Every structure is written in structure tokens, then in C-alpha cells.
Amino acid sequence: MNAFEYASPATLKEALGLLGNSWSDAAVLAGGTDLLSLMKDHIAEPKRVVNIKGIKELGGITKSGGGLRIGANATVDELMESAAVRAEYPSLVAAARGIDSPQVRNMGTVVGDLCQRPRCWYYRNGFGLLAMKGGKSLVESGQNEFHSIFSSGPAKFVSASSFGPALIALGAKVKIASASGSREVAVADFFKAPTGDGDREIDLKPNEIVTEIVVPAAKGAKNATYEVRNKEGLDWPLATASVVLTMKGANVATAKIVLGHVGPTPVVAADAASSLAGKAINEETATAAGKAAVAGAKPLSDNGYKVQLAAVAVKRALLAAAGKA
Amino acid sequence: MGPGETEITLTINGKATKVKVETRTTLLDACRERLEITGAKRVCDRGTCGACTMIVNGKTVYGCTTLAVDNVGKKIETIENLTAGAKPHPIVPAFSNNDALQCGYCTPGMVMASKGLLDRTPNPTYDQVKAGLGGNLCRCGTYVGIRKAVLEAAKELRASGGRKSGGSNA
Ligand SMILES: Cc1cc2nc3c(=O)[nH]c(=O)nc-3n(C[C@H](O)[C@H](O)[C@H](O)COP(=O)(O)OP(=O)(O)OC[C@H]3O[C@@H](n4cnc5c(N)ncnc54)[C@H](O)[C@@H]3O)c2cc1C
Ligand code: SF4
Ligand code: FES
Ligand code: FES
């Protein structure tokens, strides 16, 4: 790890004043479960580390306007234990439980989960987000069994966040503050596939802090996340699906389906979702929606198996949401 | 503060302890390399194995993935505390009674993860024990013995009225 100046401000205003205009000026520290590893591997080398855990206004998970406000310092464990979350958002509880290490859940924040950097081994070993060498993608010509099956551009890593797809399906937003004001971004737009090596995979600038996540009221919408994993713990999923269903009687009124860990951003499967309108959820319709969700997949040399996993994740998430799992 | 060395006070196993660290020193390295508190092990140093597990403010954490300076004012408990009292915490004999270790390298972390689990869930089911230790790896594959040990310690703790800690400290 490089040496750095450390600050633990008590207010958001102070914290924002300590950030800079380049990523090497300063880094925000929440739980540290990703940042410390990035720094040990010299992927992040900030001159200053700004610990936000002492900022009270960024804490807590509260009910707000029928929905939820998840403060930047709220941990995955707090989310999993929250009665308000458990009552209405089984999809978020499943994403939290999937992070199978109690230690990671105790330390890591939900906002940090959205901001975590990709796990691509080329990126983590210093070859850059796009992992290009001599104009060629190291991912395409190398080991890519855990990489993207949904890339249209040069980014071949997968978004590491399990909360991202669940929050997108629920229609959540993030609030972001900088010294010059604050803005709101739909979680769906917060993730972006980078096209240049200097780009980030999230819509965040070096002088900004995500202050909270706002989740709209579930209003009885059925929701679920299903994860397919290689091993139970200490690893990221191979493919996930998060779904939200509103019903009209026994049939689907509206559906949202978002895939995780299969593309450089969470992948919204709009066609698969709209094809469910007016239908009941059963083995047959759920299987068809799963197939439709992966219709546009473009696997690399060694990850064709993920297409099938993603289709199955969609099917099982739908059946779980409909109470038929 | 920093980037150079600063003296901070950490409260480890109930004792206020002064230590000189750099801002980049992890809690684990502060304990192991500066304070001779070497029970917690450094294996992956990336938050992916659990060998460095400690309990901070009542919750299990990876000592390798938190900065020492970030732990000023918090209650830090390491495995040393479990044998600090007249009798060890029941999880300690339970590990040997159940062959819960082979090479022993993951053991301090497993013991602390088990203690953290029992503090929160005094009467766990087998599945809760399995999930509760999901943050710790054992290369030797002693998981079955470890889970039995936790269930035995839970029984012992209930019989003895829920005494939580070996030392009275943390
Ligand atoms: C062994 C292991 C297994 C894991 N498994 C999974 C999994 O299955 N699914 C999954 O989704 N995740 C998984 N994770 C990732 C984990 O959920 C994240 O590391 C964690 O949530 C990050 O939160 P943190 O508070 O520790 O972030 P930090 O490490 O403190 O920060 C992470 C990044 O986000 C930035 N950041 C943090 N908070 C803010 C903010 N408020 N504003 C601006 N920038 C910010 C930091 O600067 C840094 O770049 C796993 C991690 C580990 C170590
Ligand atoms: S025995 Fe297993 S864990 Fe140990 S070095 Fe060989 S492959 Fe790795
Ligand atoms: S050494 Fe800390 S988790 Fe492996
Ligand atoms: S006993 Fe050898 S690693 Fe667990």
C-alpha cells in the first residue's frame, strides 16, 4: 500500500472539502473491504484517504415516504437485519445473504457494494479496466470463464455488485453530493460500461460522495433475487437475476428483470419482462422468460455456460417471487 | 494525520494500548508486528479467508482489511482474550474435543468467528453454524469438526448460564 494522509471528518461538508479532482488525490473509505485490497495491489494509490464512517448523517436505514433510505454508512449486515427490509424487500435480503461472509457483511456497506471495482483478474493485476495489450483484449484471448456474456463495447469484465440488479429492478436511486451541490441518479444509470481506459464503470466523480440510496415503496410488488454460485462463500456469484412483479389477480401486470454478474453493468431484460404481462407465473412462462432474457448473449471462448446459468437464475427468481419456488 | 508514523491508543482485550503505526498499517499488522499479539493470522491479507478474524464492537471483522487508525476508540477483542480468564471460553476446549483443526492455521480465525456467532446467536442450528462461519476458509477441510465444536460450545454456554468470554476483558 502507498503511504497516505488520513482524515476522519465528522460532517459531510468537511469530507467533501477533503476530496480532489483526480482519483489519485483522495479516496473515500467506508468499510474498506474493497478499498484496502485495491490499495494493497496498487490499483488505487490515493494521496489521502477520507474515512466517512464518523459522519452521522450518512448512517442508518430508515423508512421514508413508504420506501427506504439506506445511508452510505449502512452495512450489509444492518440491511439484512432491518425489519423494514425483511418485510417488503426479500430481493435485497437475498442479495445480502449471498455475501456469505459475516465479516464482509459487518464491515462492508451497501453503497460500497455499488461502488466496488470489478473483480476481473486482468484489472486486479494492473492491466486496466479494459485489459487491452497491443490493441487486443487480454480477456478475449485469455482466461475468461467468469467474464461478460453481454458486452457490446470493449469492457469485458462483469459488474461485481449483487445489490445493483436488485435495486434497479426496484426502481431505486442514489443521491450524490459534491462541494457544489447534490444530484440524483437512477441506479440503472449509475452503472456504465466504460469505453476508454480512463473511464469508470460508475457515474461518480473523484470529488463526489454517494450519500444514500432511496428505494421506492414496494406497494405489495413481489420481488426476489436468485443467485447461481460456484461456491457458497468468499466469492462473487456467476450469474444472478433480480425480479419485481406487480400482479393483477393471478396474472402479471408489470415485470422487471435485471441480470447481475453477466455484463459490465447490470443487464435489464426489458423484452423478457414485457413478454410476461397478462400471464401467470409458472414453470413454463418462467422458463420462457429466462430464455428470452439471454437471447442477446454473446459469450466469450470459455463462458458459454453462463448463458444457461443466467436463464435458470431468471426462471428461479420469477418462481420465487411468485411464491412457487 | 500521516502519512508518517503516529502514536494511537487501541483498546485491545480491555486494555488501552499505545502503539506507533503508519496510517496504512492494518489492525492486524499493528497487533502482530507492533504489539506481539500474534494469535490472529495473516494468510490472504485481502479479506477473503478469515484467518485474521477479530471482534470489534461486538462484531466479527477481518483485521487485515481495516486500518489500525480506524479502530481508535473501539473495543477490539482478539483470540488471546478467550484464554485470559481462570477458565477458557468453552469454544476453546470444544475445538480440541471435536478434532476441529488439523494444521491449525485457520484455527484462531475460526475460533473468533465461532465466538462472534455464539455472542449473536447463542442457540444456533447446524445451518446457522454453517452460514455463520461462511467467512472463514479451512484448507485442511476440518469444517465438520468445527461445526460440531460450535454446537458443543453452545450447549456448554447454555449450561453455564451464557458466560460469554474467557477473559472478563473485552
Ligand atoms: C470475500 C468477499 C466476498 C464478496 N462477495 C460479494 C458478493 O457475492 N456480491 C457482492 O455484491 N459483493 C461481494 N463482495 C463485495 C462487498 O460487498 C464489497 O466489498 C463491500 O460492500 C464494499 O463496501 P465497503 O463499505 O467495504 O467499501 P469500501 O471498500 O470502503 O469502498 C469501495 C469503493 O467504493 C468507494 N466508496 C465507498 N463508499 C462510497 C461513498 N459513499 N461515496 C463514494 N465512493 C464510495 C471507495 O472509494 C472504494 O473505491 C465481497 C467482498 C469480499 C471481500
Ligand atoms: S493442497 Fe490444495 S490448497 Fe494446498 S497448495 Fe495444494 S492445491 Fe493449494
Ligand atoms: S488474512 Fe484477513 S481475511 Fe485472509
Ligand atoms: S486446520 Fe489447516 S487450514 Fe484449517
Q: Which residue has the cell 470489478?
A: A118
Helix (H) or strand (E) holding B117: helix B107-120
Nearest-CA distance from B99 to chain A in Å? 23
Residues of chain B with pLDDT under 50: none
Q: Which fold has domain B83-159?
A: DNA polymerase; domain 1 (1.10.150)
pLDDT of residue A48: 98
Alpha-carbon gap: A1 to the closest alpha carbon of chain B (Å): 7
The domain B5-78 is classified under which CATH number: 3.10.20.30, 3.30.1360.70, 1.10.10.10, 3.20.20.70?
A: 3.10.20.30
- Across the range A182-195, mean pLDDT stands at 97
SS (H, E, C) B64-107: HHCEHHHHCCCEEECHHHHHCCCCCCCHHHHHHHCCCCCCCCCH
The whole-angstrom separation of Cα B91 and Cα B97 is: 10
Q: Which residue has the cell 477481518?
A: B62
Q: Please return the burial class of B102, using the count of CB atoms within 10 Å of its CB with bins 0-12, 13-18 and 19+.
A: middle
User: Which pLDDT band holds residue A198 (cuts at 50, 70, 90)?
Assistant: confident
> Domains along chain A?
57-116+164-215 (3.30.465.10), 222-321 (3.30.390.50)
Instruction: Please give the pLDDT value at position B165.
Output: 54
Strands B15-21 and B53-56: unpaired
Between the CA of B142 and the centroid of ligand 2 the distance, in Å, is 14
Separation of alpha carbons A122 and A131, rounded Å: 6
CA dihedral (A15, A20, A21, A27) in degrees, to 10, reads: -80
Closest listed residue to residue A71, CA positions, set A251, A273, A211: A211
Give the pLDDT confidence of A50-93 residue by residue, as tens digits: 999 999 999 999 998 889 999 999 999 999 999 999 999 999 99
Question: If you average pLDDT over residues A152-167, what whole number do you get?
Answer: 97
Question: What global pTM score does this model have?
Answer: 0.96
Domain boundaries, chain B: 5-78, 83-159
Give the number of other Cβ atoms within 10 Å of residue B160's Cβ. 10
Query: Does B83-159 match B5-78 at the fold level?
Result: no
Closest chain B residue to A35, measured at CA: B65
- Tell me whether A36 touches chain B (CB under 8 Å): yes
**How far is CA A194 from each of CA A128, A153, A165, A201, A258, rounded to the nearest angstrom?**
11, 8, 18, 6, 19
For the Cβ of A194 lying below 6 angstroms from any atom of ligand 1, the answer is no
**pLDDT reported for residue B146:** 98
Place of cell 473501539: B74
- What are the tens digits of pLDDT across the range A258-309? 999 999 999 999 999 999 999 999 999 999 999 999 999 999 999 999 999 9
pLDDT in tens, A298-309: 999 999 999 999
Q: Identify any residues that bridge with B10 across adjacent strands, giving them in sequence order.
A: B17
**Minimal Cα distance from B61: which residue of A?**
A103
Give A-chain residues touching B50 at CB under 8 angstroms. 101, 103, 234
- Residue A235: closest CA among chain B residues belongs to which residue? B48
Pair type for strands A222-228 and A132-133 = unpaired
A interface test, pick of B5, B44, B46 with most A CB neighbours within 10 Å: B46
* Amino acid B2: pLDDT: 87
Q: Is B142 in the pocket of ligand 4 (CB under 6 A)?
A: yes
Q: Is the CB of B101 under 6 A from ligand 4?
A: yes
- Is A37's Cβ below 8 Å from some Cβ in B? yes
Q: What is the pLDDT of residue B8?
A: 98
35-64 of B, contacting A, C-beta below 8 A: 45-50, 53, 59-62, 64
Question: Coil, strand, or helix at residue B119?
Answer: helix
* Phi, psi of A253, rounded to the nearest 5 degrees: -90, -60
